[in-house]
Amino acid sequence: MRIDVVSLFPEFVAQCAAFGVVGRAVERGLLAIHGTNPRDHAEGNYRRVDDRPFGGGPGMVMLIDPLRRAIASARQAGGGPARVVYLSPQGRRLDQAGVRRLAAEPRLILLCGRYEGIDERFVRAEVDEELSIGDYVLSGGELPAAVLIDAIARLQEGVLNDAESAVQDSFEDGLLDCPHYTRPVEHALGAVPNVLLSGDHARIARWRRMQALGRTAERRPDLLEGRTLSKADAALLAQYRADASGPIPPDPEATQARP
């Protein structure tokens, strides 16, 4: 897969692709990442890439023409058509289903905005889809592009080894992960749950599934809405609730009761 990043800071996104799982994907030739800077396609002594918004107001808007030339250049360098994704706060929220869909594309052009955003005429003419990574304010699309590239790289065939295998991941089955423990068995902070030391693999698998279901129900009930649990899963969730195991961390959003 080839990804072209169109950004005023393309080396920033490329750096993120140099480490860890993504770096390995690039080294193995499973993923190629290229940067294109609209400033290299801007005109005049000042190489302007932005201008003041019509209608007034604060901030600047990215100009159409340097972006059009940058996208055309990236498309040509990649040798053919590519899906153009604009990382933008107005986009649909990225989720694992969206990552899977984009990971199946042979070519992507990721467009990162800066300032207040991009002239809307360019968005309508050249962008296939707008994506946000969540409801918080960032300074530009570069970190969101790096997030998307990381998630996509993990799904490329041959990137993950067995231990890292994506199929077991949280969200691949729509549930949060179970808790994990390692040595020592006894620690001042507590003991490891006995079941994990039992050697009974079926019992361990059932316990882990119960924890995944219970923690999802407690922490992310939205992930279970509109999903019907199998009889076995429903029984495990009921057992988790009956066990009333462990306190859940306090919700920092919750209002404290006044004494």
Out of 133, 151, 178, 237, name the contact with ligand 9D3 by CB under 6 A.
Answer: 133
Binding of ligand 9D3 by 144 (CB under 6 A): yes
Binding of ligand 9D3 by 134 (CB under 6 A): yes
Residue from 234, 100, 235, 96 nearest 174 by CA: 96
Is 169 a residue of the active site?
yes
Binding of ligand 9D3 by 57 (CB under 6 A): no
Residue from 54, 62, 53 nearest 7 by CA: 62
Helices (H), 104-252: 120-126, 142-154, 201-219, 231-243
Binding of ligand 9D3 by 138 (CB under 6 A): yes
Adjacency order of strands within the sheet including 129-132:
32-36, 2-6, 107-112, 83-93, 129-132
Q: How far is the CB of 93 from ligand 9D3 (least distance, A)?
A: 8
Catalytic pick among 116, 172, 200, 243 = 116
Q: Which residue is nearest to ligand 9D3 (CB)?
A: 138
Q: How far is the CB of 135 from ligand 9D3 (least distance, A)?
A: 7
Q: How far is the CB of 133 from ligand 9D3 (least distance, A)?
A: 4
**Residue 67 burial (10 A CB sphere; 0-12, 13-18, 19+):** buried
Is 186 a residue of the active site?
no
Q: How far is the C-alpha of 139 from the C-alpha of 154, rounded, in Å? A: 26
How remote is the C-alpha of 141 from its chain's centroid? 13
Binding positions for ligand 9D3, rule: CB under 6 A: 87-89, 113, 116-117, 132-134, 136-141, 144
Which residues are identified as catalytic?
Answer: 89, 116, 154, 169
